[in-house]
């Protein structure tokens, strides 16, 4: 069909990744507070673009998480982390150079290796990496993906998942206990001392950089449908975007 034809720039939706190596993917940043539904929004976008059940070597929409880029802690910081006294919601908790270089590689259409992080030990898994293959669309989600201007300005589209703080806390508590091996006191203390203040200081102010704010998160099917349609149009060259992946040249942006 017409919509599956390659556009002027050679973006072929439905072709193998080997064909897109070296091409700039459409890069989407997804920010928002902890447990706002960032991962779920990304999953929905991937599902709606029809990519989820594909093998990773064929898939053309990939999602990566800022959580994979937590930096190695010093022994003193590790001791603090064990007592719940390390601030994992601060921009300095991440290896931001690695984030920048990885995003630059992704934009260059290169295959990259991403560290694997273990929340139970608050550290990187030794010698474990996830391979990210070149794709047409890359989603990068995390609480602070819009914090540093050098990284922020690399996104072609910026989404902010805006979910009420009480809803986020209500989701965060069972998740930390079940999936991340914490106890209730530790979770609530960490939330009060670090997570909430850091959200207000570092994450919430980045909402102003978003192109689209998604109220309520993944429940907001209308917003997700609109975004997916827009991505689809860009991939098929119906709409231009500022980095010139689209086919139309007479756009105002």
Residue 69-108 contact track with ligand UZR, rule CB under 6 A, x = bound: -x-----------------xx-------------------
Should residue 163 be labelled a site residue for Mg ion when binding is judged by CB under 5 A? Answer: no
Select the residue interacting with ligand UZR from 34, 68, 165, 240 (CB under 6 A): 34
Rg of the chain over CA atoms, in angstroms?
19
DSSP state string for 197-214: HHIIIIIGGGGGG-SEEE
Q: How far is the CB of 127 from ligand UZR (least distance, A)?
A: 19
Q: How far is the CB of 138 from Mg ion (least distance, A)?
A: 16
Candidates 126-134, 155-163, 189-197, 219-227; binding stretch for ligand UZR (CB under 6 A) = 189-197
Residue 68 in contact with residue 132, Cβ under 8 Å?
Answer: no
Should residue 165 be labelled a site residue for ligand UZR when binding is judged by CB under 6 A? Answer: no
Residue 24-43 contact track with Mg ion, rule CB under 5 A, x = bound: ---------------x----
Closest to 29 (Cα-Cα) out of 217, 157, 205 = 157
Should residue 66 be labelled a site residue for Mg ion when binding is judged by CB under 5 A? Answer: no
Candidates 1-9, 34-42, 207-215, 244-252; binding stretch for ligand UZR (CB under 6 A) = 34-42
């Amino acid at each position: 069909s017409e919509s599956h034809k390659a556009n002027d720039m050679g973006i072929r939706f439905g072709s193998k990744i080997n064909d897109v190596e070296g091409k700039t993917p459409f890069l989407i940043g997804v920010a928002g507070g902890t447990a706002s539904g960032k991962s779920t929004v990304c999953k929905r976008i991937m599902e709606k673009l029809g990519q989820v059940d594909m093998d990773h070597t064929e898939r053309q929409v990939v999602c990566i998480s800022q959580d994979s880029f937590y930096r190695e802690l010093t022994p003193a910081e590790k001791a603090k982390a064990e007592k719940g006294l390390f601030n994992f919601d601060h921009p300095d908790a991440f290896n931001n150079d690695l984030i920048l270089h990885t995003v630059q590689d992704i934009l260059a259409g290169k295959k990259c290796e991403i560290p694997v992080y273990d929340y139970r030990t608050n550290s990187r898994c030794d010698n474990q990496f996830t391979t990210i293959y070149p794709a047409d669309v890359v989603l990068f989600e995390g609480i602070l993906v819009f914090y540093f201007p050098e990284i922020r300005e690399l996104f072609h589209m910026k989404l902010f998942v805006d979910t009420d703080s009480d809803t986020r806390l209500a989701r965060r508590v069972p998740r930390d206990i079940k999936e991340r091996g914490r106890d209730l006191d530790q979770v609530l203390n960490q939330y009060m001392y670090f997570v909430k203040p850091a959200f207000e200081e570092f994450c919430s102010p980045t909402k102003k950089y978003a192109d689209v704010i998604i109220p309520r998160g993944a429940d907001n099917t209308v917003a997700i449908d609109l975004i997916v349609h827009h991505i689809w149009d860009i991939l098929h060259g119906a709409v231009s975007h500022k980095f010139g992946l689209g086919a139309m040249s007479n756009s105002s942006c």
